[in-house]
Structure 1
Amino acid sequence: MNTAELLIEAYSRVPDGIYRVLDGLDPTGLTARPDAEANSIAWIVWHVARSQDAQVAEVADADEAWLADGWSDRFDLPFDDAATGYGQTSEEVAAVRASAEDLRGYLEDVQRRTLEFLSTLADEDLDRIVDERWDPPVSLGVRLVSIVADGLQHLGQAAYVRGLYERAR
């Protein structure tokens, strides 16, 4: 297994798990929140896709699917197109209302773009510095691990919220 194959394997686990979370979930379940300050499944899935989209597009020097493929218009969220979910208020979390079909479609689009980029990588690419705002500066390898780790953590959160929703019904 080479570097690209390893990263593709890791990145493939996030959407596979999210699709299971979304499978058969009704609109009420998508927006259910364990309490008024908690994140909904719709917000979590949007945030996973949106964060991966923005960060991978930046390191790949590519367009974000959010804008280039019309997802921003389709979701029609009441905040800036640059928003990825970081630091959002409870009200902003509640504003993310989307169908399972749209959430899945956006994540599939982001995943396709991500895998295309990952398939081009060689070992030496991972040492390229992609963010000098940190000390030490962040390499491509570190950034890619950070993105997939965040996605896996949020996948667990979405699965937990779905379990709570199903138990309460």
Structure 2
Amino acid sequence: MDHSAVLADAFGRIQDEVHATLSGLPDDALTYRVDEGANSIAWLVWHLTRVQDDHVAGVAGTEQVWTSAGWDERFGLPFPTREIGYGQSPTDVALIAASADLLLGYHDAVHARTVAYLATISEADLDVIVDESFDPPVSRGVRLVSVLSDDLQHIGQAAYVRGVYERR
């Protein structure tokens, strides 16, 4: 298996888990929070998708799906267009009240763009420095693995919140 296939498989597992976590959930489950300071399923899925969209577009040198395909308008959130959720307050988290269909549509569009991009990169492309603001500087490969790590953590958190919601 080559580098692109490995990365595409990893991002595909995130997509599978997003679908499994959102499947059959009632609307009130999407905004359920374990406590007032916790993240909801809707926020977690929106955020992990925004991070993937932002960071993959960044290394690809393309516009984000969020703006290029009008997802920012469909969500209609009261945040700046470039917001990805990092450091948001519990009050901000409560403002994400998207439907499962909207979250899945956006996630699937970002996933499709991610997989298409991965098919275009060479093994050598993974070593290219894409962010010199860190020490050590961040390569394309490290950035992609960072996105995978962040997304896997957040979809695991969303699955956990679903379990808590279903057992309450």
Same fold per superposition (TM over 0.5): yes
Size of the aligned set, in residue pairs, is 168
In structure 1, the gaps of 5 or more residues are none
Alignment deviations for residues 65-108 of structure 1 (CA, whole Å, 9 cap, x no partner): 10110100000011111100000010100000100000000000
Q: Report the Cα offset of residue 122 of structure 1.
A: 1.3
Structure-1 residue corresponding to 2:66: 66
Q: Secondary structure, in 3 states, of the residue corresponding to 2:24?
A: coil
TM-score of the superposed pair, with normalisation by structure 2: 0.99
Which residue number corresponds to residue 76 of structure 2? 76
- 2:145 maps to what in 1? 145
**Correspondence for 1:4:** 4
Q: What CA distance in whole angstroms lies between the structure 1 residues aligned with 2:46 and 2:121? A: 26
Q: In the aligned structure 2, how far is the partner of 1:15 from the partner of 1:47?
A: 14
Please say which of residues 117-126 and 101-110 is displaced more in the overlay.
117-126
Q: Which runs of 4+ in 1 moved over 2 A?
A: none
Aligned to 1:105: 105
Q: Is 1:48 matched with 2:19?
A: no
Q: Residue 156 of structure 1 aligns with which residue?
A: 156
- Unpaired runs of 5+ residues, structure 2, are none
* Distance (whole Å) between structure 1 residues aligned to residue 126 and residue 95 of structure 2: 37
Q: Distance between the aligned counterparts of 1:45 and 1:91, measured in 2?
A: 17
Query: For 1:11 and 1:156, how far apart are their aligned partners in 2?
Result: 14
Deviation at 1:15, TM superposition (A): 1.0
In structure 2, C-alpha distance between the alignment counterparts of 1:113 and 1:62, rounded to whole Å: 10
Map of 1:94 onto structure 2: 94
SS across alignment from 2:94: helix
Q: Secondary structure at the match of 1:95?
A: coil
Cα shift readout 1:32-90 (whole Å, capped 9, x = no counterpart): 00000000000000001111001100100111010110100000011111100000010
Counterpart in 2 of 1:123? 123
Tell me the TM-score normalised to structure 1 length. Answer: 0.98
* AA in 1 matched with 2:39: N
Deviation for aligned residue 1:121: 1.5
For 1:60 and 1:121, the matched residues in 2 are separated by 9
- Structure 1 residue 2: deviation in Å? 0.5
Counterparts of 1:57 and 1:97, CA distance in 2? 25
Query: Cα deviations across residues 127-161 of structure 1 (Å, max 9, x unaligned)?
Result: 00000000110000100000011111111100000
Deviation of the 1:21 alpha carbon = 0.5
Cα deviation 1:5-29 (Å, max 9, x = unaligned)? 1100111110100100000001100
**Whole-Å separation in 2 of the counterparts to 1:3 and 1:79:** 36
Q: Distance in 2 between matches of 1:153 and 1:104?
A: 18
Instruction: Write the distance in 2 (CA, Å) between the matches of 1:9 and 1:19.
Output: 15
How many Å separate the matches in 1 of 2:73 and 2:99? Answer: 14
Provide the secondary structure at the position in 1 that maps to 2:62. Answer: coil
